[in-house]
């Protein structure tokens, strides 16, 4: 109930403040609700980048094929679907391709916009990293690679598809609820596998690893039925699924860490 003893100026000031607040809230809600028509922005890649980094909830596909752009010196193209170019940040340096949503204050005020990307590369990058709920699918890469690094963190996911691959050294690192699925048949000479804080790694049965060094902890897990030899440490609720015939070479478990063959 309004106090009848309040001065008229106070009543008017309170009413004006209330109306102004409502108008501001309605303006913000309207701006966030405005539909944004998506556009496709294309960026040629001038040089082979060793590393690809995708961040902040972006969904993407990466395919390693010979892209026919009409320029023999062109190494491929990136197609980004977004409401406008202010919705994302793209860095095409000599050594890496980095893509994330624009985190500036003005972009935040406009509301979070959907950003997706298609990367067509005529070469195989040495490293792919996804962070902050980014989701990626990689196809037809790593057919014959000396070194490959795959990293996922903070709820992101990465799926590797393709034909037979031969890799000399493979490094896979997941953390904080992220997941990496490797479904492409592979022959790996040596691997370094790390999973922590609920991170998950799943190798298809067709991924054969001659020797793998593992470090699994804090609820992390790895399914690697095609591994022939394992060494390293599993601790703090970490787990590995491996073949019953796997050779354990100085493989240590502690604090609830375990190895079983339930899924193999």
Q: Let me know if 55 is exposed, middle or buried by CB neighbors in 10 A (0-12, 13-18, 19+).
A: buried
| Residue-wise pLDDT tens digits, 141-176 | 888 889 999 999 999 999 999 878 899 999 999 999
Q: Please state, as a whole number, how many other Cβ atoms lie within 10 Å of the Cβ of residue 126.
A: 17
What DSSP state is assigned to residue 122? S
More confident residue, 19 or 95: 95
The rounded percent of the chain whose pLDDT value lies above 70 is 79
Checking if the pLDDT of 228 tops 70, the result is yes
Domains and CATH numbers, the chain: 37-127 (2.160.20.120), 142-264 (no CATH)
> What number of helices (H) and strands (E) belong to the chain?
2, 21
3-state secondary structure of 32: helix
Q: Across-strand partners of 90?
A: 99
CB contact at 8 A, 156 and 181: no
- Residues 250, 240: Cα–Cα separation, whole Å: 15
Checking if the pLDDT of 68 tops 50, the result is no
């Amino acid at each position: 109930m309004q106090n009848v003893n309040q001065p008229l100026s106070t009543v008017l000031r309170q009413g004006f403040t209330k109306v102004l607040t409502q108008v501001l809230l309605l303006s913000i809600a309207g701006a966030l609700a405005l539909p944004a028509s998506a556009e496709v922005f294309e960026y040629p890649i001038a040089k082979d980048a060793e590393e690809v980094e995708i961040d902040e909830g972006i969904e993407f596909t990466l395919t390693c094929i010979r892209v026919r752009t009409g320029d023999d010196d062109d190494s491929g193209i990136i197609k980004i679907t977004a409401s406008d170019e202010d919705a994302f940040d793209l860095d095409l340096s000599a050594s890496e391709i980095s893509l994330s949503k624009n985190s500036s204050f003005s972009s935040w005020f406009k509301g979070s916009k959907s950003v997706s990307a298609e990367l067509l590369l005529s070469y195989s990058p040495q490293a792919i990293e996804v962070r902050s709920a980014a989701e990626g699918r990689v196809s037809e890469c790593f057919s014959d690679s000396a070194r490959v690094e795959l990293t996922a963190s903070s709820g992101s996911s990465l799926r590797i598809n393709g034909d037979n691959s031969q890799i000399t050294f493979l490094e896979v690192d997941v953390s904080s609820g992220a997941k990496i699925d490797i479904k492409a048949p592979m022959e790996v000479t040596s691997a370094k596998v790390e999973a922590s804080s609920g991170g998950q790694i799943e190798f298809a049965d067709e991924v054969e690893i001659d020797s793998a060094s593992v470090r699994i902890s804090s609820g992390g897990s790895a399914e690697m039925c095609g591994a022939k030899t394992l060494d390293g440490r599993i601790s703090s609720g970490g787990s590995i699924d491996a073949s019953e015939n796997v050779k354990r070479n100085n493989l240590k478990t502690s604090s609830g860490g375990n190895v079983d063959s339930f899924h193999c």
